[in-house]
Structure 1
Amino acid sequence: MGADREGGARRRPVRAVAYAACGAVVLAGCASMPDSGDLRDVESTPRQDTQVRVFAMPPQDNAAPGEIVQGFLEALTSDDPHYDTARKYLTAGAARKWRPEQSTTVLANGPSSDQDNLPGGREDTSNLTYTLAGSRVATVDAQQAYSPAAGPYSRKVHLTQDPKTKQWRIDALPEGVVMGRSDFQRNYTSVNKYYFASNASGATIGQPAAVADPVFVRKRVDPMTQMVRSLLAGPTRWLRPVVRSSFPTGTALKKGVTSLTPDDQNKLTVPLNDKASRVGATKCGEMATQLLFTLRNLSPTVDSVELQGADGRRLCDLNERGTDAVAWRGSDKSPDYLYFLDSKHRLVRIARASTSAVPVPGALGVGDTGLRSVAVARDEHSAAGVALDGKSLYVTSLASGGSLGDPVVRSQGATADDRLTTPSWDDGGDLWVADRNPDNPRLLLLEQGAGAPVEVRTPELPGRIKDVRVAADGVRIALVVEKDGKQSLLIGRIERDEKSGEKPVVSVLELRSATPALEEVTAMSWAGDGRLVVVGREQGGVLQLRYVQVDGSTPDGLAPSALPGVKAIAASEDDRAPLAAYSDDGIVRLPSGGQWQTIVKEGSAPVYPG
């Protein structure tokens, strides 16, 4: 809890700090746990200093009840793998029953701890109750999945005094762990584990799409082993209906395996139980790919994995290059061009290393129809464009001589802002667009960008769709939704019910907020497998650029550089491609480690493929 906690008992020294290694020379030596002298209380720990480890101190003899509560809360924020020190503040019975892994509740400023008054002013010298209180920010459940939360937090902690030893201990407490936001940010990190899309229309290259499933793990408590266990346990509840795992049901680490560490060749060996003993080569390759995608997301030091059966027999091994033949993920696909509309509302493109934009081949680059917005297919062979008045959506080839053809969708909205949104492609070649007509609002899907549009079911939609971006994997979709004058960014799960010979039934379900702190989102784009970049404002604030995770958490690292007057933002799932935007300075882009640079003064609607 450290500097987070407010109110309650007087602070006491309950934590000590040790350094795993010296990343910088401090007084010409490494700090270590002292074996004599006084221990100092740690007020706060820098969030980015991954070498600092915090250890809890056990209760002191004859500690007062308030000190027991304070010490327990401090112990929850330590790097003790199994919370053994925290259990020392509990009675033996409470220690056996308490399940800290069930949940983590994150509060804005950490919990206050106040002693309850007994009715009628009575005193009980052997039983006391304290109330833990605060403002909720988020919860992390037993699957390690993050969910934004709001509202007051209030839970009771009961203490009793042992009649023989006279020591106070906690004998009743809520399940799980509670801590303040800064302690949570210091203790936990978000990592994507990967599964395969099970209901997408199919990637254009015929391989399964890897889908990111973000979870939070404790940073300094063997995160690699934590992530392997989490991956084997299966996808989180929200994502489970649309993904599959290649690990057989019940697969776990071999009994007795408590920690996994790469060898000096950056190879990680993963011994599995007998549930995986009969997998074939193809299935084992997919299992290894899931592991590599997950572990490379956590640690770049893992170059290959070997899976072993319960008998120690090698099942398969795979290096990073081998994953290319098994599956794909959006962050591995680098776009060839950035696209935008020029001053004549025609589609142009610019190579990443170039400073000159040229018209695209085909009707969208040289035709007579002015465009309001565009989307380029992820293979960069075709594109969709919405006419300048917003009424008509066209799909055409990006090849010389291609014709525009007839519109594939028309809107009857009264104004351009009540008509078609910017369209969006998934990697399977399906095209998504929303019609903002107040009299007939619809989310539409055109399979392979052609044919009669399928109206997508959105039973939980809380307002009118203003913008649409589908993830490359085809199982998640980002929607800017307007309600009561506010524009929120919601992430939905795409479910498909396809029967042979029948029109598919497509639904977007379990919408959840990705920007709980923003009351207005004006632009957004996918910027990674599980991350988006948004333009928005908090209540009473100014427009700003920031990254957000699909689960509503804020990723580690810096936000994009400020950009005045930004009207649209474009990013690629491949973070090596620079951000691009339409602002008061025209079309601009942000090179890695640099400042925003103007490409052209006149232009609009920048997009990467997708």
Structure 2
Amino acid sequence: MGADRVGGVRRPVRAVVYAACGVVLLAGCASMPDSGDLRDVESTPRQDSQLRVFAMPPPEDAQPREIVQGFLEALTSDDPQYATARQYLTGTASEHWRPEQSTTVLAGDINVDRTPGHDTSRDSSDDYAFTLTGDKVALVDVQQSYTPMRGTYSQPVHLTRDKKSGQWRIDVLPPGVVMGQSDFQRNYMSVNKYYFASNTWADSATSATAVADPVFVRRRVDAMTQVVRSLLSGPTGWLEPAVSSSFPAGTELRRGVTSLAPDDQNRLTVPLNEKASGVGREKCREMATQLLFTLQNLTPTVDTVTLRRADGGTLCSLEEDQTEAVAMRGSVKGPDNLYFVDDKQRLVRIGEGGTATSAEPVPGALGEGVQKLKAAAVSWDERTAAGVGDDGKSLFVGSLVAGGALDAPVLQSQGKVEGDRLTVPSWDARGDLWVADRDPARPRLVVLEQGGGQPLDVRVPGLKGRVDAVRVAADGVRIALVVRAENGSRSLLIGRIERDDKAGDRPVVSVRELRSAAPELENVTAMSWAGDSRLVVAGREHGGVQTMRYVQVDGSTPEGPPPAALTGVQSIAAAEDDRSPLVAYSSEDGIVRLSAGAQWQKVIKDGLAPVYPG
């Protein structure tokens, strides 16, 4: 029957099924030549999102090279429990194999090479050995958390012939699952699950702060149930020290519940085990909010969640429009204004999220032009602003109220040249102000509680280089840093903010576990948060040209097209609410904006350093 020829090897054909109607489009089996080298296993071409792909079982009397090929193909199928892939294994190997343990993503083809010392040309042999190799791109761990990786992948595969049936099967295999990057993109999708910020910066919050925790789930294997199980299991290890879940420890889906789906009223009912049976109304509403935030990130077809006890009784129900009373999420509220520094070095603003073209000075001293500015940041409530003086030495804070006076600088740098002084500041959602001093004699990251007082030096364990740019996420838990290394390269790193209030009179603030968010860029020139777990970045690729792209906090690339190309980008402003246009400052065109589905348009030529609140 039909077979595809790939890399000189005839690859087993897989069945492709419409998920909606179950119609088989293609099915078949293939044999492979008994001689010749085993070549590369190429990644499967991208399939339409409405298609489900199922692997074919091993053909009768398949040779070792066919078994290896078929097993690798089966790993890329939509088989929920990898039942077909297990048919290529011995009983013992299948019993011990844990596909959920990890998914290793390779850059391209999986190379399958004969292991030196094994004669694969003799059919009379009872064992064969191969080595799988490739270039690593990433690892998705048992918590479904994505981590970029580099280096060579090399893992053994051993086959043995069953003495009774005479069939070849794999008895030694790599841990978890391995596949090429294009297969990974077809099989997996990134989804934010949500938890609540713990140990936050102020006691004045009227509601909890939701923090996104991105994970990867299999796209067409009941993604909704996967995501709910992942949410119940708790946050990923990187985020866990800074967040909490309202689900009691040990909460799972009720025994026997294998799949979840909303009804025709867009209501999802989630039956929980006995661990959740004793929660009160407010705690239940928090649990339902976590579910709604998470599921709305996955699909728009859920607008109500009902939680049920183990005995079938209702714990609580919550509708989408009720979540704002429980928790705030950075990507929900859009900005009232876009801000920038005009040609008179005043802080000015444009209303309606930057869709207008005329600017007006902000109320207060920072809009009067007495103190010349080079950059500024505006608090999330748009009541206070911080401005960096035109020489980069001094940081000023003033209220956006008419007639407000400008006090003395809250921070000053001793850097000898402008490039070695203060960065553009950034406000977190609790009203604290972050900025880095690039003075080579004393490089440091500092935070000013409520925008004033004695600056707190922030500890950054593992930091190699100096901080050249700072942007705090709306949740106040994560921070994006552009770090300049000794060789001059500038990398985008994401850190987790932690605060210890028990150490003394003043808290100890730390940024921990820095990780790369744009590993493919060697010279990041500008960045901004552009969603709950997404940033927009301008920079230069390794050995390439300047580019602009979206990246996820975990270092993965989000789905969808990148922003339209723009030359000479020196700063970027993006709202965490993606309905607001992307704004940038270009050395060639001044301040420009990009709305969804459009091209870059000029806002004003004589202006610089655009920012949204934050």
Rounded Cα–Cα distance in structure 2 between residues aligned with 1:384 and 1:517:
33
> Corresponding residue for 1:585?
589
* Cα shift at 1:173: 1.1
Q: How does 1:4-403 map to 2 (within 5 A)?
A: 10-21=9-20, 32-33=23-24, 47=46, 49-118=48-117, 125-202=125-202, 205-352=205-352, 353-403=355-405
Q: Indicate how the Cα distance of structure 1 residues 419 and 164 shifts in structure 2: closer, same or farther if over 3 A, else same.
A: same
Q: Deviations over 1:559-600 (max 9, x none)?
A: 011112111110011001100000111111111211111111
Distance 1:73-1:5 versus aligned 2 partners, 3 A rule: farther
Matched residue SS, 2:68: helix
The separation in 1 between residues aligned to 2:411 and 2:26, in whole angstroms, is 74
2:611 corresponds, among 603, 607, 610, to: 607
Q: Distance in 1 between matches of 2:313 and 2:607?
A: 60
* CA spacing shift, 1:518–1:494, aligned 2, 3 Å: same
Shift of 1:540: 2.2
Query: Do the aligned residues in 2 keep the contact of 1:586 with 1:600 (CA within 8 Å)?
Result: yes
Match of 1:505 among 500, 508, 529: 508
**Amino acid across the alignment from 1:528:** G
Partners of 1:72 and 1:362 lie apart in 2 by: 68
Contact 2:471 2:481 in 1 (8 A): yes
Q: Is the 8 A contact 1:345 1:372 kept in 2?
A: yes
Instruction: Give the partner amino acid of 1:608.
Output: Y
Structure 1 residue 333: Cα displacement:
1.4
- Following the alignment from structure 1 to structure 2, what is the Cα–Cα distance between the partners of residues 487 and 121? 49
TM-score scaled to structure 2, two decimals? 0.94
DSSP-derived class of the 1:106 partner: strand
Tell me which of 419, 422, 425 is aligned to 1:420: 422
List per-residue Cα deviations over 1:110-143 (Å, max 9, x = no partner): 3111121327999670011110000000000000
1 CA distance for matches of 2:492 and 2:6? 33
- Read off the aligned partner of 1:397 and give its amino acid letter: S
Structure 1 residue 360 displacement after superposition: 0.5
Alpha-carbon distance between aligned partners in 2 of 1:189 and 1:134, rounded to the nearest angstrom: 22
Q: CA RMSD in A?
A: 2.2
TM-score, with length taken from structure 1: 0.95
Amino acid at match of 1:185: Q
- The alignment status of 1:514 with 2:517, answered yes or no, reads yes
SS at match of 1:137: strand
Confirm or deny that 1:569 pairs with 2:572.
yes
1:457-468 maps to which residues of 2 (within 5 A)? 457-468=459-470
Cα displacement string for residues 534-575 of structure 1 (whole angstroms, at most 9, x for unaligned residues): 001112211111000000000000101111211111001100
SS in 1 for 2:318: strand
Q: Which amino acid aligns with 1:530?
A: S
Percent identity at matched positions? 66
Amino acid at match of 1:305: V
* Contact 1:374–1:422 (8 Å) recurs in 2: yes
In the TM superposition, what whole-angstrom CA distance separates every residue of 1:304-335 from its partner, at most 9, and x where no partner exists?
A: 10000000000000010010100001001110
> Once the 2 structures are TM-superposed, how far is the Cα of residue 14 of structure 1 from its aligned partner?
3.4
Provide structure 2 residue ranges, at least 5 long, that are not aligned to the other structure: 33-40
State the shift of 1:202 in Å.
Answer: 3.5
- Residue number in structure 2 paired with 1:453: 455
What SS does structure 1 have at the residue aligned with 2:136? strand
What CA distance in whole angstroms lies between the structure 1 residues aligned with 2:334 and 2:127? 64
Cα distance in 2 for residues equivalent to 1:4 and 1:328: 52
SS in 2 for 1:519: strand
Asked if 1:439 corresponds to 2:441, the answer is yes
Structure 1 residue identity aligned to 2:100? E
Partners in 1 of 2:555 and 2:116 — Cα distance?
Answer: 38
Aligned equivalents of 2:279, 2:16: Cα separation in 1: 45
Aligned length: 599
SS in 2 for 1:492: strand
Q: Does the C-alpha gap of structure 1 residues 35 and 12 become closer, same or farther in structure 2, counting only changes over 3 Å?
A: closer
User: What is the alpha-carbon distance in structure 1 between the residues aligned to residue 552 and residue 494 of structure 2?
Assistant: 10
Measured at CA, do residues 203 and 134 of structure 1 come closer, stay the same or move farther in structure 2, by a change above 3 Å? Answer: farther
Decide whether the 8 Å contact of 1:4 with 1:183 is kept in 2: no
Distance 1:341 1:585 in 2: 15
CA, structure 1 residues 308+402, in 2 after alignment: closer, same or farther (shift >3 Å)?
same
Distance 1:330 1:255 in 2: 35
The equivalent position to 1:597 in structure 2, one of 594, 601, 612, is 601
Query: Which whole-Å CA distance do the structure 2 matches of 1:371 and 1:47 have between them?
Result: 50
CA contact (8 A) 1:191 1:298 kept: yes
Once the two structures are TM-superposed, the CA of residue 354 in structure 1 deviates from its matched residue by: 2.2
Aligned residue type for 1:440: R
